[in-house]
Amino acid sequence: MYRFFENLVDPFTRVPDGTPPATLWAFLGTQIAPFRHLVVWIALSGLIVALMEGGLIFYGGRLIDMMNASGAQAFWDDHWLEAVLVALFILVLRPVFIGLNALFLGQTLSSNLSEQARWRAHKHMLGQSASFFQNDFAGRLSNRVMQMGPAVEDSIYMAFEALWFAAAYMLGAALILGDVHPLLIVPLGIWLVLYLGYTWRIAIRTADASERHSDARSLATGRVVDAYANIETVKLFAHGAKEEAYALSAMKRLRLRFQRFMRLMTEMTFGLNVLNGLLIVGVVAPAVWLWTTGAATVGQVSAAVALTIRLNGMSGWIMWVAIRLFEHAGVIREGLRSIAVEPGVRDVPGAPALSLGKGEIRYEHVTHHYGRGYGGLDDVSLTIPAGQKVGLVGRSGAGKSSLVNLLLRFRDAEAGRILIDGQDVSRVTQESLRRQIGMVSQDSSLLHRSVRANILYGRPGATEAQMVRAAERAEAAGFIADLRDPKGRAGYDAQVGERGVKLSGGQRQRIALARVILKDAPILILDEATSALDSEVEASIQEALYGVMQGKTVIAIAHRLSTIAQMDRIVVLDRGRVAEDGSHEALLERGGIYAELWARQSGGFLGTDLQQGAAE
């Protein structure tokens, strides 16, 4: 039975296309949409439960009047059938309706909404460009995604479980008091207006305080996660105290924001008790007066008193629910700052997959200044024939990384276009583009998974033998066999830690190389691919790389010019433009920038003095 109600909605399907709405109500509307065919049943079962609760109080008053009217001797003779039917209703029908309402709220709504909201938010975030994640804390982004689920679920759950129930119960209360005497509806109405006004006033202030508190919590989380993710750097530079102060300032702000929130809770408690005092006196006193005049029975007065006491207890619960709803509204609005952001790079509607032929790459008048008007690339035109191996050289900031990032569509060019086999990369799907490109960067981070999972990331469908062969070609099989994690997993099953932190830089690089070797993409990009390796390992890796390069279109970035001297062609970038283009020998004979860089190298690296001069 539970599974039936839990599976009435699949939270991981029907994901709306496009960016989530940036406004609260529109966003909540998209979240409740998969449940729209069930909303009527959820609302109806809640209405019945609320009216039954009020009906019990009404019948309690009627029972007292029947007992007074019949007396102890004749009560069962006069009312036994009614008493039995009411008892059966309480024992059978009432639990059925309450249970049905709980199944709809708990199993259908609550168990699905939270993960639906998180999944949709995470799925959208994965579609953001690389620059989006570079401009924010990973901890803050993940905190917003994870907070979004409970905030959405609790908001919609409480709207049905509490607010709808309270509205239905208030209707029943008005009917009961009106049955006693229409006069009693007046104090109930006055109290209701004051109660709603006070709740709204407190809730509005709470929403603002909650959004600020949520923002402060995300900031504190971001700073803490940033320190953990870079713990080696923190310890290497002996900045433990500095990181403590950095996180402490955020936590102090978080404390102040929470204290503001708690002040509102204390104010709410005081004001609510004043209002409830008015309710009790305003309803019970007139009811007793009506009894003294003979206009109301003892049972009716008892029902009015019980109803008032029930409302007294419920009012605190409903106000707390309203406060929580507005608190969640603040959390959701804070989360939407990141989640409801249009991706910087999107596939055009109906974009086809890249159809790779030979692998020719062509840059046509490409300009990209990162929105600043300077830096990056400036009107670059460059053709790399299929199967050609090109080395990219240039001082820091010359545009090498920009050239690669635009090819991968981590960003879209501000002007011009990039073609692969005549197809504009901005007109094909990003996934199909990147499936055809293998890349090893200078800082190849690994997933916090096993060695096997990291290598197979290059080609998930590869066999064990193919994976092992890739590791062997990357000179990684030797050290992998000796790996063992704290849980006793060894070899290819050993976990590498977050970003591969349990491995040395050279070991991470070799696993990253194995991953790309296994991917076997027709276009290969090497960005300082062997910089983290010692000379002996680098020499053997270079041989493996030259083998991998065969038949591929290759772009290699290196400061160690000896590693790209054997390339078919070398392109020198300077201030965002192609300054020189030719073979190693031709560029040396030319006596230009490349020849100057080659002459100034020490041990095969670009001269530091030249880099400093370029930076100035």
- The whole-number pLDDT of residue 602 equals 45
- Confidence category of residue 616, pLDDT binned at 50, 70, 90: very low
* pLDDT grade for 530, boundaries at 50, 70 and 90: low
Range from 62-66, 134-138, 168-172, 358-362 that averages highest in pLDDT: 358-362
Distance CA 364, CA 367 (A): 9
- Count of all residues that appear for the chain in the document: 616
- Model pTM score: 0.70
pLDDT greater than 90 at residue 168: no
Domains of the chain: 2-339 (1.20.1560.10), 352-436+521-616 (3.40.50.300), 445-518 (3.40.50.300)
362 close to 418: Cβ distance less than 8 angstroms = yes
- The answer to whether the beta carbons of residues 192 and 170 sit under 8 Å apart is yes
Give the percent of the chain with pLDDT over 70: 95
Q: How confident is the model at residue 614 (pLDDT cuts 50, 70, 90)?
A: very low
Rounded mean pLDDT, 255-273? 83
Burial label for 215, CB within 10 Å (0-12, 13-18, 19+), is buried
> Residue range 227-237: average pLDDT?
77
| pLDDT for the residue 605 | 46
Backbone φ and ψ of 485, nearest 5°? -95, 175
pLDDT, mean of residues 257-268: 83
Residue of higher predicted confidence among 423 and 538: 423
Task: Report CA-CA distances (Å) from 290 to 181, 294, 547.
Answer: 8, 6, 100
Rounded mean pLDDT, 131-140: 76
Q: Residue 532: pLDDT band by 50, 70, 90 thresholds?
A: low
> Quick one: pLDDT at residue 571?
93
Per DSSP, the chain holds a count of helices (H) and strands (E) of: 22, 10
- Pairing status of strand 377-384 against strand 389-393: unpaired
- Of 203, 193, 245, the residue nearest 224 (C-alpha): 245
pLDDT at 352 over 90: yes
Q: What is the residue type of 69?
A: A
Mean pLDDT taken over the chain: 84
What are 475-509's pLDDT values in tens digits? 888 889 988 888 888 999 998 887 777 787 778 88
Please give the structure tokens belonging to residue 511: 């696993």
Q: Mean pLDDT over residues 211-215, rounded?
A: 80
**Per-residue confidence (pLDDT) for residue 610, from 0 to 100:** 37
Residue 290: closest CA among 183, 407, 203: 183
pLDDT exceeds cutoff 70 at 606: no
Residue 540, pLDDT score: 65
- Residue 205 phi, psi (nearest 5): -65, -35
Among 61-70, 108-117, 478-487, the range scoring the smallest mean pLDDT is 61-70
Tens of pLDDT, residues 450-459? 999 999 988 9
pLDDT tens-place string over residues 5-17: 888 888 887 777 7
